[in-house]
């Protein structure tokens, strides 16, 4: 199969969209124009000639690698990540670096040091984060796919907000060589694409072990069960209790709450009505496709967010210690001594959210505090993984919401920083368990995309793609107004 790409009017199309979105921090217009004009003429590669965006924390030789931080502004990568070289080996063309929350820390892409990225469906709303630039560019049709990184939902949440497909692979199936480290035991390079089939092609190109990443593995053959599939769905009580405890800490003992009481205690933290309707519609659509739905319980889910942020910030405080103005990072013009140099470098270079997470991580790793916080979080992480193992022993995949709300606004319409973190409950659990998760759009409610995600067994990406492709065939993805299909 080959691609014939229509280029007529693409330059003007790109300019109009990018002026509204701010999705790219750097773009090679010549490479993009060349890709838009290229016909693969019978190549056996389905990716040959296609352009793609790259989140600005993934290395591409000769392109910027700033992680959307002032501290690394002006730094160009001397090498390419393994995922990039593998895609280029299939003929795909990296055309630019996409905007992100600084060092991957955020849910809006408003934490970038350089610009904010707007949602293609409504410019007053966020694109999600931290891979918001990648998601916005794909949703607007500027590129057919982009790479992002997912530490606690940073591929799936912006894909959900923008109405495209987002894959967080099984931990280790995609090399992290060339990905600037944030929380090494949680993060993966992921895929954002304009269809589930495209996401599958990209994943198949980048997966596999890599001698440059000792955590990488060759995934075993994916055994797909016979029809019909059995899909687990979070039981209403489990969903309500998790939201009540995670998003309204004053709710008290969730185990003692009835479903109704838990929903009341969580107040505004329950699923937004439009999200709830979209999730119910997804369930009905999957049933109509012949799949069997069963309720599942994940008792430890209510502890996922505190465990995630304890582990992630601890690892971030260690990983970001290298950015000190000596080994890496822009340094001040003058410092009295090495300590002053480091202090001035990090004070001027890091944004508020990055500083907050480094401080939290340093706190939980203090002598005498590790048992109380970090090691306890690791035990919770084990419990979450075991809960998923038990749930997946009785079903082929688990259907979950992606985020409690649709793309949120700014100013008075914004979610508080705490609420944004707490709302990671449905995404960070897959990172803690190391499992694959695929977010896919299920429709449009109130003028904005809604969606769901499927979480599968380790190395079960093939089944997730098959389910999403079947859903997409019956319910085609809706595109934002002004979208044109340039990439086939």
55 is catalytic: yes
For residue 233 the two structure tokens come to: 């769905």
CA–CA dist 302, 380 (Å, integer)? 10
107 is catalytic: no
Burial of 261 (0-12, 13-18, 19+ CB in 10 A): middle
CA–CA dist 185, 188 (Å, integer)? 9
Of the candidates 135, 139, 29, the residue with the CA atom closest to the CA atom of residue 479: 139
Pick the catalytic residue from 23, 35, 66, 130: 130
CA–CA dist 255, 183 (Å, integer)? 31
- Tell me the sheet residues that pair with 400: 453
- Tell me the sheet residues that pair with 52: 94, 145
Distant-in-sequence contacts of 441-445, Cβ < 8 A, 24+ apart: 441/160, 441/163, 441/164, 441/165, 441/477, 441/478, 442/278, 442/279, 442/281, 442/282, 442/285, 442/471, 442/475, 443/278, 443/281, 443/475, 443/478, 444/163, 444/478, 445/274, 445/275, 445/277, 445/278, 445/406
Neighbours of 365 (CB within 10 A): 17
CA–CA dist 19, 41 (Å, integer)? 33
Lookup result for tokens 């499927």 = 454
CA–CA dist 165, 439 (Å, integer)? 6
Pick the catalytic residue from 82, 154, 175, 195: 154
CA–CA dist 114, 418 (Å, integer)? 23
Catalytically active residues are 55, 130, 154
């Amino acid at each position: 199969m080959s691609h014939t790409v229509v280029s007529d009017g693409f330059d003007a199309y790109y300019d109009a969209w990018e002026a509204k979105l701010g999705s790219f921090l750097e773009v090679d217009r010549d490479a993009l124009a060349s890709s838009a004009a290229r016909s693969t003429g019978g190549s056996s590669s389905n990716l040959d000639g296609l352009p793609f965006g790259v989140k600005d924390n993934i290395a591409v030789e000769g392109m910027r690698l700033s992680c959307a931080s002032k501290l690394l502004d002006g730094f160009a990568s001397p090498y390419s990540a393994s995922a990039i070289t593998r895609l280029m080996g299939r003929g795909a063309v990296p055309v630019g670096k996409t905007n992100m929350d600084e060092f991957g820390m955020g849910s809006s892409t408003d934490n970038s040091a350089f610009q904010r990225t707007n949602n293609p469906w409504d410019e007053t709303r966020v694109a999600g984060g931290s891979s918001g630039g990648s998601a916005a560019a794909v949703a607007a049709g500027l590129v057919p796919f982009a790479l992002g990184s997912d530490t606690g939902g940073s591929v799936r949440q912006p894909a959900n907000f923008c109405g495209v497909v987002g894959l967080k692979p099984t931990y280790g199936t995609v090399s992290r060589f060339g990905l600037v480290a944030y929380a090494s035991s949680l993060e993966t390079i992921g895929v954002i694409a304009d269809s589930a089939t495209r996401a599958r092609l990209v994943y198949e190109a980048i997966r596999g072990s890599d001698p440059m990443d000792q955590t990488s593995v060759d995934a075993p053959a994916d055994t797909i069960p016979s029809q019909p599939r059995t899909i687990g769905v979070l039981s209403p009580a489990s969903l309500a209790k998790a939201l009540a405890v995670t998003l309204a800490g004053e709710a008290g003992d969730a185990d003692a709450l009835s479903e109704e009481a838990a929903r009341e205690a969580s107040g505004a933290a329950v699923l937004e009505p439009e999200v709830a309707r979209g999730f119910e519609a997804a369930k009905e659509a999957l049933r109509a496709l012949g799949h069997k739905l069963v309720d599942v319980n994940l008792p430890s889910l209510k502890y996922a967010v505190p465990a995630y942020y304890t582990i992630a910030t601890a690892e971030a405080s260690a990983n970001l210690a290298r950015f000190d103005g000596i080994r890496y990072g822009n340094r001040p013009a003058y410092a009295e001594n090495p300590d002053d140099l480091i202090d001035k470098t990090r004070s001027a270079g890091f944004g508020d959210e990055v500083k907050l997470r480094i401080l939290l991580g340093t706190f939980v790793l203090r002598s005498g505090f590790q048992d109380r916080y970090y090691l306890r979080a690791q035990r919770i992480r084990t419990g979450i993984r075991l809960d998923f193992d038990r749930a997946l022993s009785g079903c082929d995949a688990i259907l979950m919401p992606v985020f409690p709300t649709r793309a949120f606004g700014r100013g008075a319409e914004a979610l508080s920083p705490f609420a944004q973190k707490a709302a990671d409950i449905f995404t960070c659990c897959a990172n803690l368990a190391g499992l694959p998760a695929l977010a896919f759009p299920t429709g449009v409610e109130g003028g904005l995309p809604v969606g769901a995600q499927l979480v599968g067994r380790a190395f079960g990406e093939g089944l997730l793609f098959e389910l999403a492709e079947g859903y997409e065939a019956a319910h085609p993805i809706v595109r934002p107004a002004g979208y044109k299909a340039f990439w086939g």
